[in-house]
């Protein structure tokens, strides 16, 4: 199981500073969509240069121009890009084809997919590497969590890795660890805590235990 740190609401300088203490606890650092909008590909470049040991996920949430947009991320050091599961199959396939050229990976974000049972087999057949359950912040504000979707999606995924994201922190992480996803994604649960390093350490210890 890998821990992915989602960096959304920091600027590049703040992200680099945070990673100085958090890097030992995480496997994948996510250049979140807000950070990507704020800083563009330079966020990937700078993190990759300073922390070459970390895998970087570019949360581009690709919806069109799959090959081109995936390439933009891979060229500057991203190991993963995200494409939305609600887009057309051709866009997802173009991301997969580009990933193969670079020896990289594709994560499909299943946010707002109403029928996981129907969509998962189609997406898996396109050759993606990771399928991610994701409860967005607006849904979280209404009290929704990704746990039920994780349980549902694990019934249907046959070969891909599974990731889960959406409001997870050290108090709630146990119920997700019990489901053994391949990638556990935590953002604000670490970065907005009183002591991010201690929070990351707690989550890492729970994962290892």
CA pair distance 129, 136, nearest whole angstrom = 21
pTM for the predicted model, two decimal places: 0.96
Please report which residue ranges of the chain form alpha helices under DSSP H: 12-22, 33-39, 41-50, 66-74, 89-102, 116-125, 137-140, 147-153, 173-177, 188-191, 196-208
pLDDT at 141 over 90: no
Q: Determine the distance from the C-alpha atom of residue 140 to the mean position of all C-alpha atoms in its chain, rounded to a whole number.
A: 17
CB-based contact 81:130 (threshold 8 Å): no
Q: Are 108 and 84 in contact (CB under 8 A)?
A: yes
- Averaged pLDDT, 65-86: 98
Instruction: Say whether 89 sits in a helix, a strand or coil.
Output: helix
**pLDDT-based confidence at residue 138 (cuts at 50, 70, 90):** confident
For residue 136, is pLDDT > 90?
no
Name the token pair of 101: 């050229």
pLDDT band at 140 (very low <50, low <70, confident <90, very high): confident
Question: Going by C-beta distance under 8 Å and a sequence separation of 6 or more, which residues neighbour residue 25?
Answer: 3, 197, 200, 201, 203, 204
Residue 144 burial (CB count, 10 A)? 15
Confidence class of residue 91 from pLDDT cuts 50, 70 and 90?
A: very high
- Residue 139 scores a pLDDT above 90: no
For the stretch 92-134, pLDDT in tens is: 999 999 999 999 999 999 999 999 999 999 999 999 999 999 8
- The 10s digit of each residue's pLDDT in 147-169 is 999 999 999 999 999 999 999 99
Output DSSP code: residue 107.
E
pLDDT at 192: 96
Q: Which domains does the chain have, with CATH numbers?
A: 2-208 (3.20.20.70)
Query: Sign of the CA dihedral 148, 1, 113, 121?
Result: negative
Residue 8 has pLDDT above 90, yes or no: yes
The first and second tokens of residue 125, run together, are 């057949």
**Span 64-73, average pLDDT:** 98
149 Cβ partners below 8 Å, 6+ apart?
Answer: 110, 116, 133, 135
Distance separating alpha carbons of residues 207 and 55, to the nearest angstrom: 19
Between helix 12-22 and helix 196-208 the angle, nearest 10°, is: 50
So what's the pLDDT on residue 200?
98
């Amino acid at each position: 199981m890998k821990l992915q740190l989602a960096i959304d609401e920091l600027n590049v300088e703040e992200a680099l500073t945070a990673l100085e203490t958090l890097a030992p606890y995480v496997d994948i650092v996510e250049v979140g969509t807000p950070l990507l909008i704020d800083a563009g590909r330079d966020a990937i470049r700078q993190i990759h240069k300073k922390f070459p040991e970390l895998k970087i996920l570019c949360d581009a949430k690709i919806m069109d121009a799959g090959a081109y947009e995936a390439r933009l991320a891979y060229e500057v050091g991203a190991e993963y890009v995200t494409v939305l599961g609600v887009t057309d199959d051709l866009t997802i396939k173009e991301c997969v084809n580009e990933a193969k050229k670079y020896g990289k990976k594709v994560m499909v974000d299943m946010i707002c997919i109403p029928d996981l049972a129907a969509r998962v087999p189609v997406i898996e057949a396109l050759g993606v590497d990771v399928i991610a359950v994701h409860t967005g912040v607006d849904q979280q504000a209404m009290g929704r969590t990704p746990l039920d979707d994780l349980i549902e999606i694990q019934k249907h995924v046959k070969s891909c890795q599974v990731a889960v994201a959406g409001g997870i922190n050290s108090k709630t992480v146990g119920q997700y660890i019990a489901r053994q996803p391949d990638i556990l994604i935590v953002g604000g649960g670490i970065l907005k805590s009183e002591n991010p390093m201690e929070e990351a350490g707690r989550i890492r210890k729970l994962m290892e235990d």
